[in-house]
């Protein structure tokens, strides 16, 4: 009995001892521990405790960042790039279309300059597309002092003609007209040669003696019988001191019957130009002839004989300047600089009103105003000016195109095709 009790007490003591040991181990584990920092000496020790609590500093409100997904950003950029390319392509296509429409009309400006051999210039008068011409040379008594100088001026003008041009010289006096033997209409240039010019000058000086009055009616009839496109009158006056306004009106009526105006086009078959020498004509017959039967600027009054030569040699330099101006305008238009081309063409049209290139330049400027500037009012005004010039020079297709713009600027454009009247 005592043995069982002793065993029970021994087991109870052992259990309580084990429990006390466990409690002691748990308390030691909860106490602070010391650790060695690996970057310091082995003897250095730090106590890792929580830092004292501090009041946090106020922070500005955070702005939420917008972040696009990578795939969506790439797709948006691709769309923008493609849109820019499409827009650029449309702009380029539009610019090329406008440029091509404009440059299609520009050869009409340059084409007349490719054949300057049809130009005629004398005493400041410039006439385009002259192929068959007749000089009516006054040999009346009023020309006694100026006849030799007039002959020299006519011969210099003939010397500037080309082989594409034919000419005749018909002196007149006292109602008579004198024609040389053989065919009076002769080819100029190398075909005539210096020998031919010398023979003609000798005939005019040695065989024709200025005297009498200056009735040109028979000479005009003889000239028109040769079927010319141009007649140039060189005279000190077609009427004398005793003539009246009735005599002038009779002369103009006869000339009107010989060279009538076309009812449809308003043009006359032959263009007349008048070079008036030395003295004013009280009745103004020569000026009226040039106004009714010539182009703008077809009348020239020269009070001094020296003016015959002073103004006769200026044409080559003018042609060179005009050729360069047209070439510059064409190149600017082809390069896409439409504004500069328009200014250059306007300058040509205004600076050379007596040249065949002038109405063509004005028409090209009208096309630019219409298609590039979208300015129908300016295009209409330029087209009206171009139509007047084309009518005066006999440029049929160019006149038709200019009149179509003047009537309806919104009409579709078709480049004019070359014709005999507008080569």
* pLDDT tens digits along 47-78: 333 344 455 555 555 544 444 444 444 554 55
| pLDDT above 90: residue 150 | yes
| pLDDT above 60: residue 196 | yes
Give the mean pLDDT of the chain. 74
Domain residue spans of the chain: 98-113+317-407, 124-311
What does the pLDDT read at residue 42? 41
**What band does 329 get if pLDDT is binned at 50, 70 and 90?**
confident
| pLDDT above 70: residue 45 | no
What does the pLDDT read at residue 52? 44
- Paired tokens of 184: 């009076």
Outline where DSSP puts E strands in 161-319: 166-173, 176-177, 186-187, 230-235, 271-277, 299-302
CB neighbour class for 92 (10 Å; exposed up to 12, middle 13-18, buried from 19): exposed
Among residues 99, 195, 201, which one has the least CA distance to residue 147?
201
Contact 367, 102 (CB under 8 A): yes
| pLDDT above 80: residue 91 | no
- Paired tokens of 391: 């009518």
71 SS3 class:
helix
* pLDDT tens digits along 359-397: 888 888 888 888 777 888 888 888 888 888 777 777 777
What does the pLDDT read at residue 312? 45
What does the pLDDT read at residue 73? 47
Least confident of 153-157, 304-308, 404-408, 412-416: 412-416
φ, ψ (nearest 5 deg) of residue 247: -60, -40
DSSP 117: G
* pLDDT tens digits along 302-326: 888 777 765 444 444 555 677 777 7
Mean pLDDT of 2-10: 60
**What band does 46 get if pLDDT is binned at 50, 70 and 90?**
very low
Q: Where are the alpha helices (DSSP H) in 231-314?
A: 245-258, 285-293, 306-310
Mean pLDDT of 112-136: 78
| pLDDT above 80: residue 122 | yes
φ, ψ (nearest 5 deg) of residue 46: -130, 145
**CATH top-level class of 124-311:** alpha beta
| pLDDT above 60: residue 412 | no
Contact 349, 362 (CB under 8 A): yes
Outline where DSSP puts E strands in 269-351: 271-277, 299-302
- Paired tokens of 90: 């449309």
| pLDDT above 90: residue 29 | no
Share of the chain above pLDDT 70, in %: 65
What does the pLDDT read at residue 227? 95
């Amino acid at each position: 009995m005592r043995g069982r009790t002793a065993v029970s007490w021994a087991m109870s003591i052992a259990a309580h001892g084990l429990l006390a040991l466990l409690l002691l181990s748990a308390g030691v584990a909860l106490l602070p521990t010391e650790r060695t920092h690996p970057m310091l000496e082995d003897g250095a020790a730090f106590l890792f405790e929580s830092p004292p609590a501090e009041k946090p500093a106020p922070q500005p409100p955070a702005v939420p960042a917008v972040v696009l997904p990578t795939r969506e950003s790439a797709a948006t950029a691709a769309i923008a790039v493609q849109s820019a390319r499409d827009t650029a392509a449309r702009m380029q296509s539009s610019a090329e279309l406008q440029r091509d429409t404009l440059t299609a009309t520009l050869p009409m400006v340059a084409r007349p300059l490719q054949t300057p051999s049809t130009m005629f210039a004398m005493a400041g008068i410039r006439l385009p597309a002259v192929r068959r011409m007749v000089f009516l040379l006054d040999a009346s008594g009023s020309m006694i002092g100026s006849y030799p100088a007039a002959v020299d001026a006519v011969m210099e003008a003939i010397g500037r003609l080309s082989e594409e041009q034919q000419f005749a010289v018909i002196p007149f006096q006292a109602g008579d007209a004198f024609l040389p033997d053989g065919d009076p209409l002769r080819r100029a240039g190398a075909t005539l040669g210096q020998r031919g010019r010398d023979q003609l000058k000798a005939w005019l000086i040695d065989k024709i003696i200025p005297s009498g009055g200056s009735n040109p009616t028979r000479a005009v009839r003889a000239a028109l019988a040769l079927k010319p496109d141009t007649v140039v009158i060189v005279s000190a006056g077609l009427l004398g001191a005793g003539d009246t306004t009735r005599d002038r009106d009779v002369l103009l009526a006869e000339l009107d019957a010989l060279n009538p105006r076309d009812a449809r086009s308003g043009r006359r078959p032959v263009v007349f130009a008048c070079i008036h020498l030395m003295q004013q004509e009280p009745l103004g017959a020569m000026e009226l002839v040039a106004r009714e039967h010539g182009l703008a600027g077809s009348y020239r009054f020269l009070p001094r004989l020296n003016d015959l030569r002073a103004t006769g040699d200026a044409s080559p330099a003018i042609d060179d300047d005009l050729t360069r101006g047209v070439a510059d305008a064409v190149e600017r238009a082809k390069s896409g600089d439409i504004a500069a081309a328009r200014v250059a063409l306007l300058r040509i049209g205004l600076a050379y009103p007596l040249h065949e290139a002038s109405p063509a330049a004005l028409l090209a400027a009208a096309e630019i105003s219409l298609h590039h500037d979208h300015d129908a009012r300016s295009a209409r005004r330029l087209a009206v000016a171009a139509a007047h010039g084309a009518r005066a020079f006999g440029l049929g297709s160019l006149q038709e195109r200019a009149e179509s713009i003047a009537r309806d600027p919104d009409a579709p454009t078709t480049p004019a095709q070359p014709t005999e009247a507008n080569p």
